[in-house]
Amino acid sequence: MNAAQKIGASLDRVLTMELVRVTERAAVAAARLRGRGDEKAADQVAVDAMRKELNHLAIKGTVVIGEGERDEAPMLYIGEEVGTGKGPSVDIALDPLEGTTICAKNLPNALAVVALAEKGSLLNAPDVYMDKIAIGPGYPEGTIDIDASPAENIASLAKAKGVTIGEITTCILDRPRHAKLIEAVRATGAAIRLIGDGDVAGVIHTTDPEETGIDLYLGTGGAPEGVLAAAALRCTGGQMQGRLILDTPEKVARAAKMGISDPKKVYRTDEMARGDVLFAATGVTDGNMLQGVKFGRNYITTHTIVLRSSSRTVREIKARHQDLDKF
Ligand code: VTB
C-alpha cells in the first residue's frame, strides 16, 4: 500500500459517516429559516453549524472551495484550516447552503453539501462561471461533448439510452443568459426542467434519472458548484465536463494565480475531483432526490446521501435525531 492508498483507506473508514453529521447539522440550521425570505441569515446559520461540526473531524483539512476569499468571508473562507488537526491532510469543498434563494422561498432542492478529498486533488476553481454538461452513469465515454451542439448531445444521449429525443429531459438554470440554449433544446423536442437555483442538485439529479426525471444537465453556473457536483459524479460514475468562463483579463489573471494556465481548458470529472473523494449532501427543502428536514414533536429527521469514490457506494441515510439540544 503506498502513502496515497493509506490515506484513501483511512478517509473511507473513518470519515464517511462523520461527514454525514457535517451536512445534517448545516441542513437543520438552515431549515429553521426556510421560507423566511432571508437568504443571508439562512446561509449564515448553515455556515456556523457546518464549521462547528467540521472542526470535530479528525482531519487536517483545508477549505479549497468555500464561502469566498478570506477578506469577503469571515468563516469557511478559501484557505481556512478546519478539523482537529490530527488526522489525514485533506482538501474540502463545501457549500453549507446551496440554493440560498430556494431556502428563503422554501422551494425544492436546497442542500447542505460537502466534499472531502486527498490533498491537492480538487480543482481550485475561482468564483467565476463555468459552462457545464453532465449525464449519469452507464453511458459510453464520449456520449456527451461540451463543444457539440445541444441537438447533437441530446441525440447522442437518446441513442445511448435507447429512447426517443422526446423522452429526454434536460435541466437548465432559468436565466436570461440561457435563452438561446433553451430555444435550441426545445427545438429538438426534448423536455426541459427549468430550475431557479441549485445546479449542484441539478447535476447530481442526472445520476438517478428514474428517481429525478433528469437525464442531462446543461448550461452555465458557478464554478465552485461545478467542482462540488464533479466530486459527486466521481463517486457515482457519471460524466461531467466543465469550462471556466474567463472572459476578462482580470479573471484570467485570478485563475492563473490559482494555478490555471489554460483559460479555455475543458475539465473532465476526474480533473475536477481526482483521487479518493467523499461527498455528502443533506436535503434542506424537499427535493427530487432528498427529502427536506422535518421538525417532529420530539425529534428532527434528516435525509442525506453520502458517496465515496473508491467503492462507488451510494448510501442514503434517513436519521431521526432525538438529542435536540445538539441542534
Ligand atoms: C448556480 C446555482 C447556485 O448560482 O451555480 C448559480 O447552483 C449561478 O449563478 O445555487 P447565477 O445565480 O449568477 O446565475 C446559484 O444560483 C446561487 O449561488
The pLDDT of residue 277 is 95
Q: List ligand 1's pocket residues with C-beta within 6 A.
A: 98-99, 173, 175, 197-200, 221-222, 225
- Cell matching residue 97: 447552503
Q: Among 89, 122, 133, which residue's Cα sits nearest to residue 259? A: 122
Rounded distance from Cα 73 to ligand 1 centre (Å)? 17
Question: Which has more pLDDT, 196 or 323?
Answer: 196
The H or E element spanning position 112 is: strand 111-118
Q: Take atom 1 of ligand 1 and give the residue whose Cα is closest.
A: 221
Domain map (residue ranges) of the chain? 3-121+277-326, 129-272
Q: Take atom 8 of ligand 1 and give the residue whose Cα is closest.
A: 221
pLDDT at 234 exceeding the cut of 80: yes
Three-state SS at 123: coil
Q: Average pLDDT for residues 19-28, to the nearest whole number?
A: 97
Report strand pairing: 60-65 vs 89-98.
parallel
Edge-to-edge strands, sheet with 169-173: 191-195, 169-173, 216-222, 129-135, 239-244, 266-268
pLDDT at 9 exceeding the cut of 60: no
Question: Which has more pLDDT, 72 or 156?
Answer: 156
CATH architecture type of domain 3-121+277-326: 2-Layer Sandwich (3.30)
The pLDDT of residue 13 is 64
Rounded distance from Cα 127 to ligand 1 centre (Å)? 11
Give the Å distances, CA to CA, from 303 to 7, 65, 112, 317, 318.
28, 23, 11, 6, 4
pLDDT-above-90 percentage for the chain: 87
| Top-tier CATH class for 129-272 | alpha beta
Q: Take atom 18 of ligand 1 and give the residue whose Cα is closest.
A: 99
Rounded distance from Cα 88 to ligand 1 centre (Å)? 32
pLDDT in tens, 127-148: 999 999 999 999 999 999 999 9
pLDDT-derived band at 11, boundaries 50, 70, 90: low
Q: Take atom 15 of ligand 1 and give the residue whose Cα is closest.
A: 197
Rounded distance from Cα 197 to ligand 1 centre (Å)? 5
pLDDT in tens, 36-80: 999 999 999 999 999 999 999 999 999 999 998 777 888 999 999
pLDDT at 5 exceeding the cut of 60: no
Q: Average pLDDT for residues 90-99, to the nearest whole number?
A: 97
pLDDT at 97 exceeding the cut of 70: yes
Tally of CB atoms within 10 A around 175: 16
HSE (side-chain half, CA atoms, 13 Å) at 125: 35
- Cell matching residue 153: 448531445
- Cell matching residue 76: 469557511
Residues 6+ apart with CB under 8 A from 221: 129, 130, 132, 173, 199, 202
Q: Take atom 2 of ligand 1 and give the residue whose Cα is closest.
A: 198
Q: Average pLDDT for residues 172-193, to the nearest whole number?
A: 98
